[in-house]
Structure 1
Amino acid sequence: MRFIRIPISVLFAVVLAAPLGAVTRRMFVTSVTGTGNLATWPDAHLATGLAAGDEICQTRAALAGLPNATEYRAWLSDAADDAYCRVNLKAGKMVDNCGEPALPHLAGAWWRTDGEPFGAGILYLVSPEQRVLNPPRFDEYGHNVGTGLAVHWTGTNAGGSLGNGSCANWTSAGAGDSGDIGMTYLTSAGWTYNGGYGCSNAARLLCFETHLGDSLPGYPAWTRLAFVTSAMGTGDLGSWPQAGAATGLAAGDAICQSVAAAAGIHRSESFKAWLSDAGTDAIDRFQHDGPWMRLDGVEIASSKADLTDTVLASSIHLSDAGDYLGFSAVWTGTWNEGTGTDDHCTNWTSSSSGLTGRAGLPASTQYNWSWWASPSCDFAYSHLYCLQDLPLVFFDGFDTGGTTAWSAVAP
C-alpha cells in the first residue's frame, strides 16, 4: 500500500470572518409546545406577544442550566419587530436597518445544545446566504425532538423579517388565524419558513442566545465527500453537457465526476450519483461504507445504514460551487432506504412530459431528502446528489496546520 499526498484546498471552510466574541452562543428548539397565543403557555409568566416568546425561551434555558439564560430571544417576528432585529437586540424592521444607520450583524455564531454547529452568524442564516450547517432539532436539554412535532412558530420569512402570518402578533389561538412556521429537520430557508400553520395548533419555539460569540472552528476534512450538483437538467441524464457520451446511471456518475473535477475536488473520479433505475438500487452501487461529509466538513451519515435509516445527520444541500441549496429538486429514483422507485424517467433516458422521475429535497434531513416529489421528466431544473465511493481518505492538517491529504490507494 502506498500513499499519495493530495491538496484539498478546494474544501469549503466553515471558518468565517466574524468578530471574536467572548463565549460560545447556543440555540435550541423548546421541549414544550403551545398555540399561537403565547400568553397561554405556562412559561410565559403573564407576558404577551413577543415578550411572552422571550420569557418562554429564557425560562427553558434556565431550567436546562444553560449559561446566560436571560439573554435568549425567541426567533419571532410581528408587525412591529423582525426576528433578525430582535436577535441583534434591536427593535424595528430590517427595511429600516433595525433603527440603526446600517443593518446590524452582531449575533452568533451559534451551536446547538448537542455540541454541533448551527450557523456562523446572523448574516449567514438568512437569505441570500442560508448557510445553515445543521437543522435546529435539539431542545434546551440537548435532546433530539424527533419527528413527532417538528414545527416551530417563527412568523419569519427566509430573509429574517415578518412573513405572511404571526397569529395576530402572537396573541391568537383562533382556528381562522395562521402563523408562519419553520421545521426542525430542515436547513436552508426551511428552518425559518415552511408555510403557514393554524394558530390553534401546537408548535415549539426557536430560541437564540444573543450577542456575539466565538467564531466556528475549521472542520478537519477526514472522510468521504458528498455534494449536490450545481448543474441541472432533465430526466434524460445523457442530455446533460457533463455526461459526455454516457447514458442512464453511467451518465449520472459522469456528471458527478465532471462537476467535481471542474471544482477541483480531490479524487473526482470516485464520485457516483445517488440514483436507482429499474434494475439497480442506489445503495447497492456503493462498494465502500461511510462516513460521508459535505464539502464544508459537516457529517451527513456515518455509514450506509445511517444514510438509509430515515434521518440524516445533516442535509446534502451544499453544491460543488459552494452554494447552499434550498427548495430544489434532485433526481434520485430512490426511496430513503436506498431502493428504487418505479418513476425513473425510463432508466434516466427520457425527457418526456408524460413520464415522471422521483426527486429528493436537498434541505431536508428526513426521508424526503431522497424522495420528495415526482416532477415530469422534462423538468430541466433538477440536480443530482454525488457521493464518493473509495477507500477512506485521511487528512493530516491536524498535525501540520496545512490543508493536505493522504489517500490510501492500491499499489
Structure 2
Amino acid sequence: MSNDIKIRKGLDIKLKGEAEKTISDAPRSKNFAIKPTDFHGVTPKMVVKEGETVKAGDILFFSKYSDKVKFVSPVSGKLAEIRRGAKRKILEVIIEADATDTYKEFGKKNAAAMSPEEVKEFLLESGCWPFIKQRPYDIIANPEDQPKAIFVSALNTAPLTADVEFILQNRLEDFQAGIDALSKLTSGKTHVSVEAGSSAISGVKGVEVHRVSGPHPAGNVGVQIHHVDPINAGERVWVVGPEDVAIIGSLFNTGKMDQTRVVAVAGTAAPKQQYFRVKIGSGMSDLLGEIPVSTRIISGDVLTGNQVSNHGYLGYYDNTVTLIPEGKNFRMFGWMPFIDNHIPSMSKTSLSFLFPNKKYEVDTNLNGEVRALVVTGEMEKVMPIDVYPMQLLKECLAQNIEKMENLGIYEVAPEDFALIDYTNTSKIEAQSIVREALDLMIKEVG
C-alpha cells in the first residue's frame, strides 16, 4: 500500500518576504518569558518565587490539574517577575537571564534500554512533556492516557513558515533519538510525514513515513491523521512538532534540557529575512531590533499566529516570526471586482487566479466586515478533511454536542479552519468558534 498522501483541496497563499536560508545566532535576550497562555487549558501553580535563581531545566510551575506536567526554565538566571492579568491570572513568567546558561543535569539516557514507563517519567521530570499534544482537543497530552498512534508532521505548508528540512539538517541524530523515545510511548505506530521528494528526514528509522503533496493545509498534522488513522470517539492520538522531537532527542543524548530553536523571521516588514538560532521565550526586541508601530508582529504564521508587541516574547511552540504592514489604508471602491489586484484570493472577482505563481505583498486589512451571508460550498473548497465545515460551525455556535460529534468535532483543531478564516465571504472567526466548541467538549465529554 502506498504511503503517499495527495491533497487536492486547499489554497497555497504565495507571499513575498520568505526567509533566506542562512542561520545566525540571535543576540541573547536580557529577559525570557514562559507564557502559560501558550498551553491551552493549563492553570499554572508556581514552584519558584520572584527573586529566586534557576538553572536551565529547573521547574518554574506545574499544571494545577495534572501535577506531573511540569514547565521548566529555558535559561539560567533570576525569576524577575510574575506578570498577572484579570483575577490574578498568570500571563508571563519573566526570567532575567545570566550571560551564559548553567544547565540542570538529568543524565544521558538510551531510550532503547528503557521501559515505556521510564521514558515517560524522564520526559515528565525534565519538562519535555508539554511538547506532546493530543488530538482530539489540541491540548497537552494526559500522561495517564494510552495513545493509539503518534504523529510528527515534518513539513510546513502555511505561508512564509520555516522549512523543516532546513532547520533539522544538522539535528538528524537528535531527531532520531527523539523518535526512538516517543515510539516507546505507544503500542501503535509512530508516523512521520515529509514533503514529497524529501530525502534526509524520510530516512529516519522505526517509523512509518508518509510523503505528502498538495496545497495548504497539507502540512497540518490533523489532515495527515485523517488520511492515515482517523480519530473516533474515545481514542487519543499524540502529536509532536519536528523540532520538538529534536529537543527531546538532545535531552537523551546530552542529559540537558536545551530549549534552542531555529526560527524563521519572514515577511515584507522584517528587517532581516533569515533564520536565527534562539531560545524558547526569547524577547522580540532583542531578536528583531526596533520595529515601527505600523508593523504587525506575529509569533507564528499569518494564518494561525498570535500578535505580539515589540516588547513581547516568542511563543513556546513557534518557529516562525512574521512581520507585515498594518492595514490602515482605505481602498476607494474596494468592493468593486478587479480593483487593486493585490492579494491572492479564491474568488474570481480578483484576477489572482490568472497568476498562480505570483507572490504578493499583503497587509492586515480584512477587506470587508462580518456579514450575515454564508455561501454554500465555499468552505468545502479549502477543507481536505471529510467533514462538513459550514454545518459543523453552525452546531459549534449552537453548542449541540451530539451533532458536533456526528459532524466530526474530534477530527479537527482550530488550525484546520485557518483557511476558512481567510477565504470565507462571511468573515467569521472560524478558529475561535472551533476552539470554544472544543473547550465545551472537554468540559462535557472529557
TM-score normalised to structure 1 length = 0.29
Name whichever structure is richer in strand by fraction. Answer: 2
TM-score normalised to structure 2 length = 0.27
